A and B are shown apart, each in its own frame.
Chain A
Amino acid sequence: MTPDSNAGRPENELSELLNIGFPANPGAIGTVADAVTETLIQLRVPEQKRLEIGLAVQEALVNAVVHGCKNDPSKQVRCRLQSDPLGRIVITVTDPGPGFSPDLLSDPKRQENIYADHGRGVYLIRQLMDEVSFERRGNEIRMWKY
């Protein structure tokens, strides 16, 4: 885990493309994920990269709503989409939950986990994105796509 995934990338060099706060209702996840995808289309991000970012964002939103907020719509999740001067995309999803330690997650590709019905979300995000870090107490995920 990196203490500051923006090291070397000052926040003021990032352009904000989307900043959505929404109640932690599972029904809202699709709408927010669609808004991210629509922004990527406007940026002319190639389809394959768009799919990879879209799935990673969806996984992060599900984690925030389901695990971070326990599906409690009185709690607020925030999703930000930014780009740097090189056109690289960074998505940040923040929830008000207690956070978690990603280092404690088990490897879903281990034989004993292969038929598990959960536990693949963070692994998938790490595979799909170029750089992933957990900030604060683990209740904020920052995902870069170059």
Chain B
Amino acid sequence: MGPAVDALRQVFEESLGGGDTRIVLNLAEVSMIDSTGIGLLVRFLASTKQRGGNLKLVQPSKFAVQTLRLVGVLNLFEVFENDDAAVESFA
């Protein structure tokens, strides 16, 4: 919600605009994801996949994972323990 989601949206749009479609998003500092944030994640995931890429999540909190599962979107994402593993998965 609010500035955090707006900032992330801008980063996503700039990434896609620059041709980057293979994205790793580290959520270690994010304690909570609300429905606005979830909407942004799934929309961006769809956009990257349409371009042959992907959006992979790193270190989501237990509560963030629970929230994504509650609304039925957790299984859309690949989730990793660290950035390196997520990056290597694109190789």
Contacts and interface: CB of A to CB of B under 8 A. Distances in A.
Contacts of B40: 117
Given A27-B2, A108-B71, A54 B32 contact: yes
A113 to B, nearest CB: 9
B38 A120 contact: yes
Interface string B47-74: 0000000000000000100010011110
Interface of B: 1-2, 31-32, 34-36, 38-40, 42-43, 45-46, 63, 67, 70-73, 76
B83 to A, nearest CB: 25
B35 A120 contact: yes
A51 interface: yes
Closest CB pairs A-B (n = 3): A117-B39, A109-B72, A120-B35
Interface of A: 26-27, 29-30, 48, 51, 54-55, 58-59, 62, 108-109, 114-121, 123-124, 127-128
Contacts of A62: 1, 34-36
Contacts of B32: 51, 54-55, 58
Contacts of A117: 39-40, 42-43
A123 to B, nearest CB: 6
A108 B1 contact: no
Contacts of A119: 35, 39
A128 B73 CA distance: 16
A114 B45 CA distance: 11
B1 A115 contact: no
A18 to B, nearest CB: 19
Contact of B43 (A26, A109, A115): A115
18 contacts: A30-B2, A51-B31, A54-B32, A62-B35, A62-B36, A114-B72, A115-B42, A115-B43, A115-B46, A116-B39, A116-B43, A118-B39, A120-B38, A123-B71, A124-B35, A124-B70, A124-B71, A127-B70
B34 A58 contact: yes
Contact of A109 (B35, B67, B71): B71
Nearest to B34: A58
